[in-house]
Amino acid sequence: MDPKMNTITLTTAQAIVRYLAAQYTVVNGTETRLFGGGFGIFGHGNVTCLGEALYDNREALPLYRGQNEQGMGFAAAAYAKYHMRRRMMFCTASAGPGTANLLTSAALAHANRLPMLLLCGDTFLTRLPDPVLQQLEHFGNPTLGVNDAFKPVSRFWDRITHPAQILQSLPAAIATLIDPTDCGPAFLGLPQDVQGWTYDYPISFFDKRVYRIRSQAPDVAEVADAIALLKSAKRPMIIAGGGVQYGDAVAELTAFAEATGIPVVETIAGRANLLDTHSLNIGPLGVTGSDSANTIAKEADVILAVGTRLQDFTTGSWTAFSHDAKIIGMNVGRHDAAKHMSLTVVGDAKLSLPAMGTDYKSPAEWTTRAQSERAKWSAYVAENVKPGNRPNSYAQAIGVVNALCDPRDRVVAAAGGLPAEVTANWRTLDIGTVDVEFGFSCMGYEIAGGWGARIAQAEGEPDSDTIVFTGDGSYMLMNSDVYSSVLTGKKMIICVLDNGGFAVINKLQNNTGNESFNNLIADTPTAVNQVRVDFEAHARSMGANAETVSNPAEMAEAFKRAKVADTTSVIVMNVDPYEGWTTEGHTWWEVGTPHITDNKKVRDAHEDWESTRPQQRKGV
C-alpha cells in the first residue's frame, strides 16, 4: 500500500474478491454482506489466482465446494430466491467445460429474474500458449469462445481484459444484480493471465458500501387510469405473482385485498403469497391450477396482475381469461407490465398497491361466489391427498408431508409432474415457504436448489427444515448435492417419488394420441435390462439417512424420523405413473401436435386439442 498515492497493488483476482467482501445490503433493518459466499469448483482456469484470493477471504466469503457446476448455479439461484433477491452467491468455475456446465443454471436464473455472479475462467488474453487445453477454436474469430455463449443468458456480461477494467465492470455488475427490473445473472470472463496481473487500485474502491434495493413509485397518471378501470369492474380479480414477495409487498397485497374484497389467485412463483386459510385466497391459477381460480378467471372482467410475468402456465396459453377482460399490469418491470395490451402501472407493488386506494369495493355476490368455488376446491384437495384413495400418488405424498411439516419449513420442487402436484395440492402454512421452480422448469434443480435454500435458511431459521420433492428422473440427472448437504451439515429431507421414468411427459405423449415411447423405462425399446434403481442404497452411499417405504402411512412415519434426525434424510416411495395424477384444475395448454399423421389416435387428439383454440386471446 502506498499511503501517498492512496492506492494498493493487487492482482485482478485479489481486487475482485476484496471488492465483493466489502459490499453490504440491508435485510430486515440489519446490515449484512451482499454475498453470502460462493460455490466453486477449481480447475486450471481459476485455481491459481482466484483460488489464492478466495483462500485469503474464506471467512468473509465462505466457499462451498460443489460437485457439479450446474448444481452450484441451481444452489445459488435457490439461495437468492430464499433471500428474496436481497442476498446472493457467486459461482466460480474453470475455463472450458467447467464454465460451460453453468449455462443451464444461468438460463434458469435469467428466466426467474434471480441474481448470481458468475466468475469464470477464460483463455489467455495474450494468446501466446494458444490453443490451450479445453479451448474452442473459431478459425475466423479468435476472440470467440465458450464464455460468449453466456451472452443470451446473462443480464450483464463482460470479459476482463485489463486489471483496471474492474473499476467499472464490478460496480456495473452489482448494479444489475440488485436492480428490481434488470435482476439476473451477471457474468465476468476472467482470462487466466489477467487474473494474476497487478494494478494500483484506489484504496477507496474497497470501502464498505451498503445497498438498499430500489423501490420505484408508480406514475400518478398510470395509477389514476388503473383506479378508473378497476372502479368499472363488476367481477374483479387479482393475480399475485412472485414479484409480490420479491417486492416485500405481501402485507400490502393482503391489506388491499381485504379492504376491497377482491378475490386473489396465485401464480406458481406466487404460491405462498397468502395463507391457504385466507378467505380471499381462491387458489392457484392456470394449467397447474385449481378449478376455483380458473373458474373466476374465465368470468373476471378486470384483472389486476401484480408482480407476474404472465407465463403460459399462468394464462393457460392465454385461454384462461375471457376475450373482453381488461388487464392492469402492475410490475416494476415495464416489459412484464405491458404484456397483452395491459394498462400499465410500472412500479413496485409495495408502493403501487397503496397508491390504488381502497375506495372501490368488489360486489359482495362476486366475492362470495369466488369463495364458494374455493370451498369446493379445498374439498377436492382434501380428498385428493387422502391416503388409500387410489394407488400411491404424488398428491398423497404431498398431503402426508403437508400435514406433518412445521409452518416455516421450506418446500422445493421443480421439473416433471411435481410442480403441478405441489402447486395444486400444497396448502400454504406460512408466507414465502414454497419454491416451485417453473420459470425454466429445470430437471436437477430440486436437490441442488434444496441445498442452496438450506444454506440460506440456516442463516436465519436454523430450526426449520428444507423439504425437497423430486422424481426419479430428476434424481438420476443430478443427485450429488445429497453428498454436498452431508459434507456441509446442511440437512435436507428429500422425498424421492419413483414412477419409473419420465411419467408426466409420458402422460402428455398419451394425451396427444401417441403411444408410450422412450419416457417410462418399461416402454423404452433399448432398455433391454429392466432394472430399477436402489435409491435408498445410493443415498446411503453418500452419507445420508435413507429408507424405502411402501405407502403413504409408512412415509408419514419415515418423515417423522427425518424431522428429528440431524443429517439429510432420503425417503423413497414408488408412485403409480398412470393413475396417480391430479385430474382437476387444468386449463388448456398450447403444445405442438402433428397436423398430418396416419395415426387416427394422434389425428383425433390434434383435432380435439385445436377445438379449444378459439378461446385463445390474440393479444388484446
Q: Are 522 and 500 in contact (CB under 8 A)?
A: yes
Domain spans, the chain: 7-211, 220-378, 388-574, 590-620
Q: Do domains 7-211 and 220-378 have the same CATH topology?
A: yes
Query: Exposed, middle or buried: residue 220 (CB in 10 Å: 0-12, 13-18, 19+)?
Result: exposed
Q: Are strands 236-240 and 264-266 parallel, antiparallel or unpaired?
A: parallel
Q: Given the C-alpha cell 378459439, which residue does it identify? A: 614
3-state secondary structure of 381: helix
pLDDT tens-digit map of 24-47: 999 988 999 999 999 999 999 999
Rg of the chain over all Cα atoms, to the nearest angstrom: 25
| Residue 554, H or E segment | helix 552-564
Task: Give residue 1's pLDDT.
Answer: 54
CATH architecture of 7-211: 3-Layer(aba) Sandwich (3.40)
Q: Are 68 and 484 in contact (CB under 8 A)?
A: no
- Give yes or no for a cis peptide into 131 (omega within 30° of 0): yes
Question: pLDDT at position 559, please?
Answer: 98
**Distance between CA atoms of 241 and 283, rounded to whole angstroms?**
12
Task: Using the structure block, give the residue that is written with the C-alpha cell 464454465.
Answer: 99
Structural fold of domain 388-574 = Rossmann fold (3.40.50)
Strand stretches in 301-420, DSSP E = 302-306, 326-331, 343-346, 410-413
Cis preceding linkage at 129, omega within 30: no
Instruction: At 439, list the grid cell.
Output: 420459470
Is it the case that residue 434 has pLDDT exceeding 70? yes
Give every strand in the sheet of 88-93, ordered side by side: 63-65, 35-40, 88-93, 116-122, 185-191, 156-159
CATH 3.40.50.1220 is held by the domain 220-378 = yes
pLDDT in tens, 116-163: 999 999 999 999 999 988 888 899 999 999 999 999 999 999 999 999
As a 3-state breakdown, the chain gives helix, strand, coil percent values, each rounded to 5, of 40, 20, 40
Per-residue model confidence as pLDDT tens digits over 466-497: 999 999 999 999 999 999 999 999 999 999 99
Answer whether residue 532 shows pLDDT above 80: yes
Average pLDDT, the chain: 96
Q: Which H/E stretch holds residue 562?
A: helix 552-564
The Cα-based distances of 433 to 131, 370, 402, 408 in angstroms read: 49, 25, 12, 6
pLDDT digits (tens, 9 = 90+) for 372-394: 999 999 999 999 999 988 899 99
For residues 49-62, average pLDDT: 97
Distances (CA, A) of 2 to 8, 203, 205, 411: 6, 9, 14, 52
CA–CA dist 256, 230 (Å, integer): 13
Q: What is the mean pLDDT of residues 337-353?
A: 95
Pairing of strands 7-11, 198-202: antiparallel
The DSSP element (H or E) to which 52 belongs, if any, is helix 50-56
Say which residues have a Cβ less than 8 Å from residue 36's Cβ, sequence separation at least 6: 62, 79, 83, 87, 88, 89, 455, 456, 459
Do the beta carbons of residue 441 and residue 384 sit within 8 Å? no
* Three-class secondary structure of residue 417 per DSSP: coil
Pairing of strands 343-346, 116-122: unpaired
Residues 14-27 pLDDT 10s? 999 999 999 999 99
Q: What are residue 331's DSSP bridge partners? A: 346
- H or E element at residue 494: strand 493-498
Q: CA–CA separation, 521 vs 530, rounded Å?
A: 7
The pLDDT assigned to 135 comes to: 87
Instruction: Please give the Cα distance from 39 to 66 (Å, whole number).
Output: 6
Q: What is the dihedral of CA 216, 220, 226, 227, to 10 degrees?
A: 120
Please give the Cα distance from 439 to 405 (Å, whole number).
Answer: 26
List of residues 6+ apart from 140 with CB closer than 8 A: none
Q: What is the mean pLDDT of residues 416-421?
A: 95
To the nearest whole percent, how much of the chain has pLDDT over 90? 94
Task: Name beta bridge partners: 469.
Answer: 495
Average pLDDT (245-267) is: 97
- For 565-618, what is each residue's pLDDT tens digit? 999 999 999 999 998 899 999 999 999 999 999 999 999 999 999 998 888 888
DSSP structural state of residue 27: E
Whether residue 2 has pLDDT greater than 80 = no
Q: How confident is the model at residue 619 (pLDDT cuts 50, 70, 90)?
A: low
| 347-376 tens-digit pLDDT | 999 999 999 999 999 999 999 999 999 999
Residue 535 neighbours by CB under 8 Å, 6+ apart: 472, 475, 496, 498, 546, 548, 570, 572
